[in-house]
Structure 1
Amino acid sequence: MKVALFFTLSLSVASAAHADLSPRELDVITVPSGQPVTFFESMLDRPATGLTARFRFVAPELPQTLAALSYDELEADMAYLCDTYAMPRIAAPVPSMIVISLSERETVFGSVEQDVAQVFEAYRPAGTVCEWEAF
């Protein structure tokens, strides 16, 4: 299934610097666990930890996946999304952190929805790969 996503999200940082997180045409992504994942949105913000790029994905089978997988297996999915989806879309300035989130359906950023399974993990860009970042 093809999903055409056309938008540009950039944020001015330190005068004229911009990071382009524009998604490209995208298929449903199959992560190592086999669950289907689709891109939802990306954004930049600057919390106390520095410039952060957030990539949000929808994983409709997330509740079943959480019940069936270990943390290491689930983290492998999130690391895969960081390495193969987020890193190729990062431009100058390079963020200090990349946050990958999975949600069983689209949600408003920052909202707490008790009936929606959501997980997230943070990574630090290290060259062309993501390194897990402990909170």
Structure 2
Amino acid sequence: MLSTAAQAEDVPSGQDVTLHEVLVDRQGEATWLRFRFLAPQIGREEGQVGFDVAGEDMLHLCDTLALPYMHEYTLTGDRIVISFMDRITEFSVPDPDATQFFEAFRPVDGACMWDEF
């Protein structure tokens, strides 16, 4: 597990997003790189950033932060998962009070391509 707490680049929505940690996760034969971001403005209520808007932010972060991070730290992965959480949660531990959004991508020719889970 790699961990960092760097401020994320500006995202299209303008919300505050901070990289919490990066996890390297083996799933069978595949390697998944999980970039977990604190995004306290996400949610389903009026005035919060919904998944439709956050999805664009996640694609942006995959292209502008995750791919360069992989290059800098010589990481390879079959899938990149960008996740947003409104509060810090422990990975893979359910927290019914937390709001979390996830999006999976495949790195293809230097860009992130959306991928279904």
Mark yes or no: TM-score above 0.5.
yes
Alpha-carbon distance, 1:127 to partner: 2.2
Note if 1:87 corresponds to 2:77.
Answer: no
Q: Which runs of 4+ in 1 moved over 4 A?
A: none
Note if contact 1:103-1:118 (Cα within 8 Å) is conserved in structure 2: yes
Query: How do 1:1-135 and structure 2 match up within 5 A?
Result: 9=2, 23=4, 26-48=6-28, 50-63=30-43, 64-66=48-50, 71=52, 73-91=53-71, 92=74, 94-135=76-117
CA distance in 1, matches of 2:29, 2:14: 32
Note if contact 2:37-2:84 (Cα within 8 Å) is conserved in structure 1: yes
Alpha-carbon distance, 1:35 to partner: 0.9
The structure with the greater share of residues assigned to strand is: 2
Alpha-carbon distance, 1:53 to partner: 0.5
Q: How many residues align?
A: 111
CA distance in 2, matches of 1:127, 1:36: 29
The two structures have a TM-score, normalised by structure 2, of 0.84
Unpaired segments of 5 or more residues in structure 2? none
Alpha-carbon distance, 1:45 to partner: 1.0
Identity, % of aligned pairs? 40
Note if contact 1:45-1:51 (Cα within 8 Å) is conserved in structure 2: yes
CA distance in 1, matches of 2:76, 2:8: 26
Q: CA offsets, 1:53-83, max 9 Å, x none?
A: 00000001112112xxx62x32111001111
